[in-house]
Amino acid sequence: MGAASDLLGLSIGAAARLLRDGGTSAAELAALSGDRIRRLNPALNAFLSVRPAAAGQAEEADRALAQGAARSPLAGIPLAHKDMFDRAGETTTFGAHAAFWKRPESTSAVKARLDDCLAVDMGTLNMSEFAAGPTGENSHHGRCANPWAADRLSGGSSSGSAAAVAARMIHGSIGSDTGGSIRVPAALCGITGLKPTYGRVSRHGAMARVWSQDSIGPLARSAEDCALILQAVAGPDDRDPLSALTAPPFELRLGDDRPLRLSLPNALVSEADDDVAACFDAALKALAAAGVGIDAAHWPDVDDIHALAETAHKAESTALHDGQLTAHLEKYGVFVRQRFEEGALIPAVRYLQAQSLRPVMVERFLRDVMRSCDAVVLPTVACVAPVARALEDDIGANRQLLGRLTRYTRPFNYLGLPALTVPCGFGRDGLPVGLQIVGRPFDEATILRVGHLFQTLTDWHHRSPDLSWARPGARTETAA
């Protein structure tokens, strides 16, 4: 797999330059990607389907490249996406039982925009059932394994996206994030992931999970790669009623050399495991040595924000599934069903309070934590990837695990703020640790700049897992 590893291990920018210079072709990249998927997927279970149409997309990209008509750096780049984005005439599974699958008549905004860039869509990726849960376990399609260790969680709900990028099957992916579903798997699998500002990317043709907290964004190797994908898919869309139609356009400013100041919520960071804290401290020292200012901050509202986010999360997700729960209750996994049943018990007054307090909490966060800084930094997840296990019937045990995984990510979905995770080292058992960078509304440019700076100072994002265990014929534990 040497040739595939060399070419598929390139950054999007490096692969784009090679494609433009004639050093490789989109058809070759797609063939190498397809071969690597066939070799590794029986063990990883990251892909749910591989698209035969990808070869045709690669040929179209090669023609445009040969004619000098390909204007996007994504032209000819192999990508694949979480299986919750519509493509006309192709099945979307939502990570769920076959009773819920559909074959849409139109294509989602994000896939259509990537098609316009001549990116090559290699297929659909595994995910938590209905994007409900940060573990990556799935009782219908089987567990998505973590490329760094077969017995560890990949994280979710964008499990296949993170695993496929980390395993060098593809260069990047589109996932969704409602409580950490991009950032958690990206951190546990040692890659970069971006949750944009709420409304920055159109959700037209995407499965809704929690309409007031859903964000769509990229997972890739680096901050620069995430920026290139975001540049392709960001922008207003009047087909999405929650799209930010008047937001300032996303601007790429990775090379900006103005001084940076970061804010650190010490009390929250102290909850991380020792090995995660050590990696986080080393990351801060690297940034400080490069001239970045770092100040402590007090964040008194974090527990209130968690409670408010959970109230809105459960109520909205249950409302979205209310009719299906009545008709197909037995076709939901036990864990997902329990979560939805809890949502049915939330009083309307509590939900309305949670929504009405959002602008207040955003204002307080910007005032108290971000008053004199460019971005906030904290770990992405408080622990390294836990040992995988099937989600049990005991909702209390499951809630403890979910709370541990999303403690540092969920608040920023409720607040609607952009948040980036980048690899910042390895903790116990040689498992990846993530550094999270949070910014002001629609200021993805600054957090990507911080992430890019960190990745010029360190090489954690270049590290790749030893996949010798994922030999041909190996398989992860799948659903019965």
Q: Please give the model's pTM, rounded to 2 decimal places.
A: 0.96
The catalytic residue positions are 82, 157, 181
pLDDT of residue 4: 57
Q: Flag whether pLDDT at 3 surpasses 70.
A: no
- The predicted-structure confidence for 349-405, as pLDDT tens digits, reads as follows 999 999 999 999 999 999 999 999 999 999 999 999 999 876 555 556 667 888 899
Q: What is the mean pLDDT of the chain?
A: 94
- The predicted-structure confidence for 82-96, as pLDDT tens digits, reads as follows 999 999 999 999 999
pLDDT band at 198 (very low <50, low <70, confident <90, very high): very high
pLDDT of residue 445: 98
Q: Which is more confident, 479 or 192?
A: 192
Q: Residues near 258 by Cβ (< 8 Å), separated by ≥ 6?
A: none
pLDDT band at 296 (very low <50, low <70, confident <90, very high): very high
CA distance 196 to 209: 16
pLDDT of residue 479: 40
Residues of the chain with CATH 3.90.1300.10: 2-299+356-386+405-462
* Mean pLDDT of the 323-342 span: 91
pLDDT of residue 326: 86
Report the topology of domain 2-299+356-386+405-462.
Amidase signature (AS) enzymes (3.90.1300)
